[in-house]
Amino acid sequence: MKTTEESYHLSNLKTLEAESIGIIREVAAEFENPVMLYSVGKDSSVMTHLAIKAFYPKKVPFPLLHIDTGYKFPEMYEFRDEYTKKNGLDLRVLRNEEALKRGVNPLSVGTVKCCADLKTKALLDSLKEGGYDAAFGGARRDEEKSRAKERIYSFRDKHGQWNPKNQKPELWNLFNSKIDQGESIRVFPLSNWTELDIWTYIYHENIDIVPLYFAKERPVIEKNGQLIPVYTDEYEDEVKDVMCRFRTLGCHYCTGAVRSEADTLEKIIEEMMVARHSERITRVIDHDQDSSMEQKKREGYF
């Protein structure tokens, strides 16, 4: 039956795609109540695209959960609602309303406390409330040093916390999904992707992303070497228009833009190939303290 034209070679991107789809299906099969964390960014676009592929022609059999700090870019909210509707995804949005009522923001309480309240606490509370026993996240091992050692199935205790010294060995593609009541796992189907893989995949698959990733003249202020976009009238610094784009998307207070002319996917990928700064440099929160991401992860942050 084999014809001579058949080739059994799978490219890097197709290999990564197959691996991720396998992980997503395995979780859907083995857990009672999975949920996919959706942050609206490019990695979330790729992760949801993979979930859609995994269950095609049926719908994705689990909901998406957006932990909304209330301070995301307006473009992100608009994209989120359109993207999830267009793809028939079941989106749930949760905020720490109590903290927002108290007026928590990075200018009033600092970035560490702000993240703890609006992200980590909101996440842990909503995972607990929803009774989710598995939560997908879009983190990649190439992103940050403590993530390089994260397993694909990352075990969390009853308090949602991570213990890097007590990680289960993970062999072949055989994942241990046994947990006790109240415990949960975080699952990272994009573990083995790099930032460049994400971009080339978006290009080849024609995946929708938030327009903020493309370069455009935007009003910003310069603060500690970072270009912070202006979406509030609280800043006293001088506002100027700069041709720039965002490499990652978080809250508008804490996400810096980079100077860039890349207004198409091709140009972004070209820029990536010569990039000399990792994408997380534009995240103000990573520089809070030495090993700040490891600390946040131990406490339950994604």
Partner 1 sequence: MSSESLIEQSQNIDLLRFATAGSVDDGKSTLIGRLLYDSKSIFEDQLNTIKTFSRTHRNQEIDYSLVTDGLKSEREQGITIDVAYRFFSTPKRRFIIADTPGHEQYTRNMATGASNASLALILIDARNGVVTQTKRHSFISSLLGIRNFVIAVNKMDLVDYSQEVFENIVNEFNAFADKLADESVYYIPISALEGDNVIERSENMPWYKGSTLLDYLENVNVSGGRNMNDLRFPVQYVNWGGGDDFRGYCGTIASGVVHKGDKIRVLPSGKTSKVSRIVTYDGDLDYAFAPMAVTLCLEDDIDISRGDMIAKADDIPAIAGSFEANIVWMDNTPMEIGKDYLIKHTTSVVKGNFEEVIHEFDPDDISMKSSQSLGLNSIGKAKVELKSPVFADLYSENRATGSFIVIDPHTNQTAAAGMVTKYKQVSPDKGCKSVKVRVISYPADKKEEAMAKYDRLSMHGTHCIYVDDDLLKETLRKGKSVDSDEYSEMIENLCKIVTRSGVSVVVCSDNFKS
Where is 219: in which H helix or E strand?
Answer: strand 216-223
Give the x-and-dash track for 111-130 against partner 1 (CB under 8 A). Answer: --------------------
Q: How far is the CB of 236 from partner 1 (least distance, A)?
A: 27
Say how many C-beta atoms besides its own lie within 10 A of residue 226's C-beta: 18
The correct pick among 129, 233, 238, 290 for binding partner 1 (CB under 8 A) is 290
Number of residues lying near partner 1 (CB under 8 A): 73
Can you read off the two tokens belonging to residue 217? Answer: 């003249």
Question: Distance between CA 9 and CA 76 in Å, rounded?
Answer: 38
- The nearer residue to partner 1, 127 or 265, going by C-beta atoms, is 265
Q: How far is the CB of 203 from partner 1 (least distance, A)?
A: 6
Of residues 36-65, those binding partner 1 (CB under 8 A): 52-59, 61
Q: How far is the CB of 176 from partner 1 (least distance, A)?
A: 5
The correct pick among 94, 179, 207, 243 for binding partner 1 (CB under 8 A) is 179
Q: How far is the CB of 2 from partner 1 (least distance, A)?
A: 7
Q: Is 300 left (phi over 0), alpha (psi -120 to 50) or beta?
A: left
End-to-end CA distance of the chain: 48
228 bridge partner residues: 221
Q: How far is the CB of 276 from partner 1 (least distance, A)?
A: 5
72 bridge partner residues: 251
Question: Distance between CA 178 and CA 170 in Å, rounded?
Answer: 13
